[in-house]
């Protein structure tokens, strides 16, 4: 249960109790009641002081001097911050009979600051509004027979000028919250995240898995759109696995997992949307924090500085993190060439990754007027690393004659490959939000310019025996630019109906220039290899519009439906070969959601959505990676978009201090993009090498992909100091390709467990465990793996500083990762062993003083629309 839901449930109980005490007066003592939030405590205190004598937000006995209840009216209004004109959510509202301090009706505002007092008898009253951190406001109102229903002007609350001292929060947000349309993992509450990266954080979020190479999946699907603070980034679109390593875990506030996005979201991301929320300044004053740590695999130093005064807010941050890792691999492949001829490939390699990353961001928001908000921001990342790899290869050709195997060919060599990779990204965004006359009526205009520049170099030296017999080098330069413009309008038809509409344009431009040069070994030096070089330009423009309508039927049923229309235009040009690519298509993506609140503690939700998945540059880039000439890969610029229908049924229940969510889902994807490996003759693909067979891997639209699954998430507090949460996901995947006459399927699962303890004197501890089963693909499967960690934290200096010690996989020095591929023409097995045991020590210190002052909500662009890359193609 969330803190907000807990507050409302406690409040409902108190209102029922007060309704049974018709003679409660100011003369009675005030009892201390357990409230999980300051807002709840303020509401209870006000209700007790006013002597509330009836159920809140309900009809009450008619006070003396008024007409009968049959002439009852209705008062509606909205509570706003006097400085920002933003809603004050869950403010307390009480209606007093004129000349008396006894409450006739009382209640709380909703999340939009709105309230409705029904069944108000005709008469004169005093409306009293209060909320913690604000000065109470009293307004004279009247209900007459001529005007029984009144829409009151906004009630403005002025903030109390008060310096915050040491604040104790009685209610504490759960580690994972189940909300109406998403699951939220509150990463800042998980001490085992200290010193890690976004990849470490995401593997702990419900329904998500991150494999050993950093590839992200949601319920077994990699078709996910990942956002940062609701905004897209070309960095994430280029190489998601590497990008997630550039975001420090200490800067992440929470992770939102959205499995059934509404029509407001882009129609792509067939499995759903993952939104990483970074920490931001939301209060008055100046504050900041610094973090530093070191482990046997990485180190980090970062910090934030935030300042807000009056209409202007500023937040900034910078950090750097060096890293390294060791691994080894073993690969075996058997090629079935004819009935009597086969070849065997054996490879053994070791590699070391080392490098560093840095990031920085600067954000600004300014209240132009109480109803006009302007936001500006820039953030950048850079990550550079060196991969030093040594690989021994043995390739043998055999023929079987009369039961005897005879070797016809042997090729054995060693390769040293040094790869230098650098990737930089800059995002510049702006937003303008206009609050209009009606409550919740809002217009926003948003813009984003994002550019990502990548640079990859490798040097390859091949030896046979003691002699260098081949050398080559390569460079791959790419630039990815996005310009996004978006306008959204929210129109509340009434208190139960809302209409949302919007327009959006995304303009993408990608350039890729890759060159291969080989040493002639005759003194002429390195010479270009035109057959393995190309210059590629790619453009993708998306034009979209949407409409969404939500309404409620009574207190138990809520519905939301909408549709999104998207038109895509694609153009590509291979400048070296002179060939062009041109295509366009239009897609309609409907979306329906229904929720039934059976009781306040039991909710059932049903949703349907159609999603499309455009291939990102990772899948389209035709760069041919030939660092290993026996295993070659490339992208495919001729890929088309996928189309997926998704159905989901969810049940959520709250039992005392526990919450449980069960979901059943089905996803059907046609024309699915799958990686496909096939044997080709060496000189068919690369004319410069011999005619023996190589394994060539690329992507094609040729599969039908179905996923049927059940997932469950639960959280509980076993004791006031011991909390437990966990997630389990079981699903069956069936993938088939009539074009290749291939089919594969199997059951899979993943699960995690979080447990935390709070001790005395600032000590706390936390355990995390994760297990992922084998994964099924069109041509094979990958093995499962497990990760577990245990951390302890000590707070001191009045909780302004802490030291965290974390150990990851203490009883496993390395993790084994097995990848199997099979086809009628070959069998391939690759085993990789990653050094994984880690001991990490980190230190954090926060400084500055804060004043209370509610922050205004910020709008941001959400591009949810490209299939993310995660393989090893450049």
Q: Please state the domain extents for the chain.
A: 3-157, 284-867
Phi-psi region of 403 (alpha: psi -120 to 50; beta: other; left: phi over 0): left
- The whole-angstrom separation of Cα 154 and Cα 434 is 17
Give the pLDDT score at 481.
93
pTM: 0.66
Helix 3-19 and helix 38-49: axis angle, to 10°? 10
Which of 248, 259, 240 lies closest to 201, judged by CA? 248
Q: How confident is the model at residue 61 (pLDDT cuts 50, 70, 90)?
A: very low
Give the pLDDT score at 211.
56
- The whole-angstrom separation of Cα 598 and Cα 593 is 16
Please give the backbone phi and psi of residue 146, each rounded to the nearest 5 degrees, phi first: -75, -25
Angle at 593 between CA 592 and CA 598, to 5 degrees: 150
Segment 756-779, tens digit of pLDDT: 888 888 898 989 888 989 989 889
- When pLDDT is averaged across residues 279-294 and rounded to a whole number, the result is 72
Please give the backbone phi and psi of residue 243, each rounded to the nearest 5 degrees, phi first: -65, -35
Segment 353-402, tens digit of pLDDT: 899 999 898 988 888 887 888 989 998 989 898 999 999 999 998 998 88
DSSP 3-state of 193: helix
Q: Over the chain, what is the mean pLDDT?
A: 78
- The whole-angstrom separation of Cα 769 and Cα 690 is 48
H/E element, 682: helix 682-685
Beta-carbon contacts of residue 701 (< 8 Å; ≥ 6 apart):
639, 640, 642, 671, 672, 673
- The whole-angstrom separation of Cα 476 and Cα 513 is 6
Segment 214-271, tens digit of pLDDT: 567 676 566 677 777 665 554 555 456 656 665 777 778 888 887 766 666 666 555 6
E strands, 720-865, are 722-737, 742-758, 763-772, 775-777, 780-782, 785-796, 801-808, 814-823, 826-835, 838-851
Tell me how far apart the 2 most distant CA atoms of the chain are, in Å. 114
* CATH architecture, domain 3-157: Sandwich (2.60)
H/E element, 603: strand 602-615
pLDDT exceeds cutoff 80 at 196: no
Give the pLDDT score at 320.
92
Angle at 265 between CA 638 and CA 859, to 5 degrees: 125
- When pLDDT is averaged across residues 448-476 and rounded to a whole number, the result is 90
Q: Which residue has the higher pLDDT, 127 or 52?
A: 127
* CATH architecture, domain 284-867: Beta Barrel (2.40)
- The whole-angstrom separation of Cα 558 and Cα 450 is 37
pLDDT exceeds cutoff 60 at 857: no
H/E element, 242: helix 240-243
Reading the block at residue 352, the tokens are 């070391």
- The whole-angstrom separation of Cα 301 and Cα 378 is 20
CA dihedral sign, ordered 24, 26, 32, 34: positive
Q: Find out whether 865 and 225 touch, Cβ atoms under 8 Å.
A: yes
Exposure class string for 69-94: b at 16+ Cβ within 10 A, else e: eebbbebbbbbbbbbbbbbbbbbbbb
pLDDT exceeds cutoff 90 at 578: no
């Amino acid at each position: 249960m969330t803190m907000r839901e807990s507050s409302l449930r406690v409040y409902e109980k108190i209102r029922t109790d007060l309704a049974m005490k018709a003679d409660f007066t100011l003369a009675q003592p005030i009892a201390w009641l357990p409230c999980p939030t300051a807002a709840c405590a303020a509401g209870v205190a006000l209700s007790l002081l006013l002597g509330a004598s009836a159920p809140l937000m309900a009809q009450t006995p008619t006070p003396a001097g008024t007409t009968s209840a049959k002439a009852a009216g209705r008062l509606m209004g909205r509570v706003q911050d006097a400085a920002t004109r933003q809603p004050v959510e869950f403010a307390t509202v009480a209606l007093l009979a004129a000349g008396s301090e006894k409450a006739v009706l009382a209640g709380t505002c909703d999340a939009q600051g709105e309230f409705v007092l029904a069944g108000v008898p005709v008469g004169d009253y005093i409306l009293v509004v209060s909320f913690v951190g604000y000065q109470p406001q009293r307004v004279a109102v009247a209900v007459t027979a001529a005007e029984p229903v009144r829409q009151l002007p906004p009630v403005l609350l002025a903030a109390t000028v008060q310096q915050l001292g040491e604040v104790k929060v009685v209610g504490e947000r759960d580690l994972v919250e189940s909300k109406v349309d998403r699951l939220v993992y509150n990463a800042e509450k998980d001490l085992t995240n200290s010193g890690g990266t976004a990849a470490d954080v995401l593997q702990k979020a419900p329904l998500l898995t991150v494999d050993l190479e950093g590839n992200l999946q949601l319920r077994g699907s990699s078709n996910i759109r990942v956002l940062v603070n609701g905004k897209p980034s070309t960095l994430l679109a280029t190489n998601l696995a590497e990008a997630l390593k550039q975001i420090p875990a200490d800067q992440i506030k929470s992770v939102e997992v959205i499995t059934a996005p509404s029509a407001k979201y882009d129609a792509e991301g067939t499995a759903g949307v993952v939104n990483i929320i970074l920490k931001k300044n939301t209060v008055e004053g100046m504050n900041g924090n610094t973090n530093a740590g070191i482990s046997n695999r990485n180190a980090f130093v970062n910090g934030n500085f935030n300042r807000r005064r009056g209409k202007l807010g500023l937040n900034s941050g910078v950090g750097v993190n060096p890293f390294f890792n060791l691994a080894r691999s073993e690969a075996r492949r058997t090629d079935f060439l004819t009935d009597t001829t086969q070849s065997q490939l054996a490879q053994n390699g070791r590699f070391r990754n080392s490098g560093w990353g840095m990031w920085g961001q600067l954000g600004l928001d300014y209240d132009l007027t109480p109803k006009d908000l302007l936001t500006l921001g820039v953030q950048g990342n850079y990550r550079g690393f060196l991969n030093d790899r040594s690989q021994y290869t043995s390739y043998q050709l055999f023929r079987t004659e009369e039961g005897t195997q005879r070797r016809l060919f042997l090729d054995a060599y060693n390769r040293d490959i040094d790869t230098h990779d650098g990737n930089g990204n800059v995002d510049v965004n702006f937003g303008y939000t206009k609050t209009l006359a009606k409550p919740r009526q809002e217009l926003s205009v948003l813009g984003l310019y994002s550019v990502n520049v990548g640079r990859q170099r490798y040097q390859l030296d091949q030896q046979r025996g003691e002699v260098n017999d081949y050398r080559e080098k390569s460079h791959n330069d790419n630039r990815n630019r996005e310009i996004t413009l978006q306008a959204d309008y929210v129109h509340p038809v009434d208190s139960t109906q809302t209409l949302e509409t919007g327009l959006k344009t995304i303009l993408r431009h990608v350039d890729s220039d890759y060159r291969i040069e080989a040493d002639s070994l005759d003194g002429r030096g390195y010479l270009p290899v035109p057959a393995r070089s190309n210059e590629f330009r790619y453009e993708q423009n998306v034009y979209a519009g949407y409409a969404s309508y939500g309404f409620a039927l009574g207190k138990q049923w809520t519905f939301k439906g909408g549709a999104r229309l998207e038109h895509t235009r694609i153009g590509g040009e291979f400048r070296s070969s002179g060939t062009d690519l041109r295509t366009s298509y239009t897609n309609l993506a409907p979306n329906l959601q229904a929720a039934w609140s059976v009781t306040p503690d039991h909710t059932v939700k049903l949703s349907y959505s159609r999603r499309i998945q455009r291939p990102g540059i990772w899948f389209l880039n035709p760069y041919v990676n030939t660092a290993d000439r026996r295993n070659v890969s490339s992208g495919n610029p001729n890929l088309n978009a996928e189309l997926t229908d998704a159905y989901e049924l969810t049940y959520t229940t709250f039992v005392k201090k526990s919450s449980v969510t069960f979901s059943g889902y089905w996803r059907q994807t046609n024309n699915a993009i799958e990686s496909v490996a096939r044997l080709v003759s060496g000189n068919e693909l690369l004319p410069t090498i011999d005619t023996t067979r190589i394994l060539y891997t690329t992507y094609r639209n040729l599969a039908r992909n179905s996923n049927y699954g059940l997932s469950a998430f639960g959280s509980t507090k076993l004791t006031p100091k011991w909390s437990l949460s966990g997630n389990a996901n079981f699903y069956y995947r069936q993938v088939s390709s009539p074009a290749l006459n291939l089919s594969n399927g199997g059951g899979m699962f993943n699960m995690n467990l979080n447990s935390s303890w709070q001790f005395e004197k600032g000590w706390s501890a936390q355990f995390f465990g994760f297990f992922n089963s084998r994964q099924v693909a069109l041509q094979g499967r990958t093995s499962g793996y497990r990760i577990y960690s245990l951390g302890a934290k000590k707070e001191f200096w009045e909780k302004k500083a802490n030291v965290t010690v974390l150990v990851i996989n203490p009883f496993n020095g390395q993790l084994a990762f097995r990848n199997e591929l099979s086809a009628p023409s070959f069998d391939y097995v690759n085993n990789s062993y990653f050094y994984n045991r880690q001991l990490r020590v980190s230190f954090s210190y926060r400084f500055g003083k804060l004043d209370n002052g509610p922050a205004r909500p910020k709008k941001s662009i959400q591009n949810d629309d490209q299939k993310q890359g995660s393989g090893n193609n450049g």
